[in-house]
Amino acid sequence: MPADEELRHVPIADLVGRLQSASSPEDSSPYFAEIIRRFEPLLRKAWRRVPWIDYADFAQDAFMRLFRSLPRLKVPAAFPGFFHAIMLSVVADLWRHRSEEEPLSDSLAEILAAVEEATQSELVLRSYAELLDEPERTIVLLDLIEGCSSEEIAARLGWTAGGVRSAKSRALRQLRKQIEAEADALEKNHRR
């Protein structure tokens, strides 16, 4: 069984592939746990659009749907989009059920667009930022998700702003290289 820390650096496509090929629930448990760790923050953002339901119930529904549907995922590198679609379906189902009880003030399309806007870029970024070592991961997430300036990040980390900019540049090069490698793999897989 792999150590939790080891799994933090496994690309999502490899992690999903390992999960799909696990021979028993015990073997798959650490992979499930790592996927939940990585993607749970996005569920919280989506849940904010359905505040009448308890978060634990919302998360359980989303992850149960995800893991029941996972055998249908043929390309593990497509997992972030697969997860995103399931998350949106949970939100849509909850709003449809609610609209049966009372009229909606917004259309379902507007609600789903708001969830999409709140989660799409973070979904992609989180999927790849997990591949970075600390402190680059922290710098990228603070910059691109929280919108902190180099000076603010430097103050938090006790670095210089120039050091933060250099680390961010290195991290973005690493991410670009990983994304290109996965895109090449997807294209090769598609040609088969």
Place of tokens 């998700």: 145
Pick the more confident residue, 50 or 115.
50
Within a domain: residue 90? Answer: yes
Within a domain: residue 124? Answer: no
Q: What does the pLDDT read at residue 106?
A: 67
* CATH number of the domain encompassing residue 142: 1.10.10.10
Judged by average pLDDT, the poorest of 104-113, 148-157, 163-172 is 104-113
Within a domain: residue 114? Answer: no
Within a domain: residue 119? Answer: no
Task: Kindly report, residue by residue over 117-159, the tens digit of the pLDDT.
Answer: 777 767 777 777 777 888 898 898 888 777 789 999 999 999 9
Neighbours of 75 (CB within 10 A): 15
Angle, nearest 10°, between helix axes 25-47 and 79-101? 60
C-alpha radius of gyration, the chain, whole number: 18
Task: Kindly report, residue by residue over 58-108, the tens digit of the pLDDT.
Answer: 999 999 999 899 988 888 878 888 888 899 999 999 988 887 776 656 677
Domain that holds residue 167: 132-192
Residues 42 and 78 in one domain: yes
Residues 103 and 22 in one domain: yes
Residues 192 and 97 in one domain: no
Token pair, residue 109, equals 């399309």
Last residue of a domain, one of 108, 124, 147: 108
